[in-house]
Amino acid sequence: MRPNIVSEAGLQTRAGQWWDNIPFLTSAVVIVCGVIYLVCLLVGYDSFYEICFLPEALVSHFQVYRIFTSIIFHGSLLHVFFNMFALVPLGSELERIMGSIRLLYMIILLATSNAIFHLIIALVVAHNPIKPYPSLMTECAIGFSGIIFSMIVIETSLSGVQSRSVFGLFNVPAKWYAFILLVLFQLLMSNVSLLGHLCGILSGFAYTYGLFNFLIPGPSFYSAIESSSWLASCVRRPKFILCSGGNPSAYIPTYSGQNSPSSGLFSGNIWRNLSSWMPQRETAAQSIQEDSRFPGRGRTLGAGQNAALNSDSNLQARLLDNSNPNNTSDIAAAGAGQGLSNDRRSPVNNAVAATAGGPVLPQGPIASNEQIDKLVSMGFERTQVEVALAAADGDLNVAVEILMSQQG
């Protein structure tokens, strides 16, 4: 009896849509790690002691290459599968916000800081006078999970949520979310590098608190790389996301509000992420409404809502564009014509008044220095960040969308 052609076609289509929806750098990391593991499996290479992160090798032989080779090699099929399965939602979300080149720079920065934290802690613990543990200096760590833990911290901080769900079973405070995952993985899995994951969490917090700001270049650095000839073939890829937000087809808003749940792998029910792969019969209405950029059920925005969001984003982008001081009257007219809601009209009008030099109306929430520092650490100008937060009524995620639209 022939197999169910409808189910096979549906599964293949959904898998293709899922892969097409993964941005350029995230999909490249998945391919690189997967191919490296496959090649090692085919040739029988298992000398991971030569390429893993080994504190003793860095101290005695200065083998700096281990900082980067250790994150792309994996020890088993489950190891590489679960790491890449966790990377896809986290990396995709951060890449859509930051851009492909900026995310690559962040991964390199996090890999380096993870190694530095790992080396310092191993040296201190191994040579402490009270009870030394020299085994930490010879502990061999490989895998991308350290970077993933850093991304979990950064994405949780950027989302602004107060609590996160662990595998859909229970909620924990957002600030303790990464540490809860650290403990759970240590208890549930064997041969897990506690120090490697802990250093990933420390690097994530250091990044979100702005300790790496002096190492983060400005937008001109990323623009110069994107405009270089040797990267032209990558930039032309449809899944490549420019740091300036110049590829609207690849940009998907991440949040609609401050308390919106994240699309991360570990927040919410894990089976909900798997169910999107399952083939489902579509009605005619669903086929008409489905947008190619938002495959799957429950993710398609209505036509009226799309128009409102696009007009609102255009209005805010024009608001932030201070290159032409004569466009404030046009912005005010556009705001009246679009019919903004009462709670959004006030901050936008205030920002227009501030741009034109007129009186500013009383406003509710004021952006905190912590919110401003988070966006500045992502490479945005401080003045534009303040205006964007004012226009977004203090909503950090909406401000990110405004800034990305303004740069485009």
Whether pLDDT at 318 is above 70: no
Mean of the per-residue pLDDT values for the chain? 75
Q: What is the mean pLDDT of residues 30-49?
A: 93
Whether pLDDT at 333 is above 70: no
Strands 163-166 and 170-173: antiparallel
Q: Which of 157, 197, 263, 267 is the catalytic position?
A: 197
Active site annotation includes 60: no
Q: Residue 376's domain spans which residues?
A: 369-407
Confidence of residue 243 (pLDDT cuts 50, 70, 90): confident
Whether pLDDT at 347 is above 60: no
Question: Residue 377: which CATH number?
Answer: 1.10.8
Lowest-pLDDT choice from 76-80, 238-242, 333-337: 333-337
Last residue in a domain, options 236, 266, 296:
236
In a domain, 304, yes or no: no
Q: Is residue 230 domain-shared with residue 378, that is, in the same domain?
A: no
Give the Cα separation of 398 and 389 in Å (integer): 8
pLDDT of residue 327: 46
Q: What is the mean pLDDT of residues 211-219?
A: 92
Active site annotation includes 227: no
Q: What is the mean pLDDT of residues 247-255?
A: 34
In a domain, 399, yes or no: yes
pLDDT of residue 16: 84
Whether pLDDT at 149 is above 50: yes
Give the Cα separation of 332 and 390 in Å (integer): 16
Contacts of 35 (CB under 8 A, 6+ apart): none
In a domain, 270, yes or no: no
In a domain, 282, yes or no: no
In a domain, 259, yes or no: no
Long-range contacts made by residues 324-327, C-beta under 8 angstroms, separation at least 24? 325/355, 325/356
Report the candidate in 347, 171, 366, 197 with the shortest Cα–Cα distance to residue 269. Answer: 171
Confidence of residue 367 (pLDDT cuts 50, 70, 90): low
Whether pLDDT at 227 is above 70: yes
Q: What is the mean pLDDT of residues 361-374?
A: 66
In a domain, 187, yes or no: yes
Give the Cα separation of 258 and 271 in Å (integer): 24
Q: What's the CA dihedral at 204, 210, 215, 219 to 10 degrees?
A: 100
Report the candidate in 344, 346, 342, 317 with the shortest Cα–Cα distance to residue 331. Answer: 317
The H or E element containing residue 30 is helix 24-43
Helix, strand, or coil (residue 293): coil
Q: What is the mean pLDDT of residues 78-91?
A: 94
Q: What is the mean pLDDT of residues 250-254?
A: 33
Last residue in a domain, options 203, 236, 269:
236
Residues in the chain: 408
Angle subtended by helix axes 382-391 and 342-356, to nearest 10: 140
Last residue in a domain, options 217, 236, 255:
236
pLDDT of residue 146: 95
Whether pLDDT at 360 is above 50: no
Whether pLDDT at 371 is above 50: yes
Share of the chain above pLDDT 70, in %: 67
In a domain, 16, yes or no: no
In a domain, 319, yes or no: no
- Rg of the chain's alpha carbons, rounded to an integer? 23
Q: Structurally, how many domains does the chain consist of?
A: 2
Q: Which of 113, 145, 263, 267 is the catalytic position?
A: 145
